[in-house]
Amino acid sequence: MGKNKPAKETTFTMNEVETQRAKDFCNRHRHHTVHMTAGEAFEFTFMPSMIGDVVSVRCLSCGEREDVTDLDKF
Ligand SMILES: [Zn+2]
């Protein structure tokens, strides 16, 4: 058995506050993404920075983007 890495590896994590903000964002956009799966409807972007990971979520249906980074974690 070799070392098989999963094709897509997520090294970024979201804390409780960020997860909740992302959920709220998704809920606000659910009305026009109801026919899509969460993976199709929303795009999460993780940007490593000197002080921590900056997390943003974008609605692929209307294009709105929101920074859900919990600044208190820095
Ligand atoms: Zn939207």
pLDDT of residue 56: 96
Q: Is residue 53 assigned to a domain? A: yes
Taking Cα atoms as reference points, which of 12, 25, 22 lies closest to residue 53?
12
Q: How far does residue 64's CA lie from ligand 1's centre (Å)?
A: 6
> Which pLDDT score, from 0 to 100, does residue 48 have?
86
pLDDT at position 73: 78
Q: What spacing in Å lies between the alpha carbon of 4 and ligand 1's midpoint?
A: 37
Q: Is the pLDDT of residue 4 over 80?
A: no
Asked if residue 10 belongs to a domain, the reply is no
Instruction: Name the pTM for this structure.
Output: 0.77
Name, in order, each residue with C-beta under 8 angstroms of 8's C-beta and a sequence gap of 6 or more. Answer: none
For ligand 1, the distance from its centroid to the CA atom of residue 27, given in whole angstroms, is 10
Q: What is the pLDDT of residue 8?
A: 58
Cα 33 to ligand 1 centre (Å): 7
* Domain containing residue 31: 16-73
12-70 pLDDT per residue, tens: 789 999 999 999 999 999 999 988 998 899 999 999 888 788 999 999 999 999 999 99
Residue 34 within a domain: yes
In a domain, 3, yes or no: no
Quick one: tokens of 2? 């070799």
Structural domains in the chain (count)? 1
Distance between Cα 32 and ligand 1 center (Å) = 6
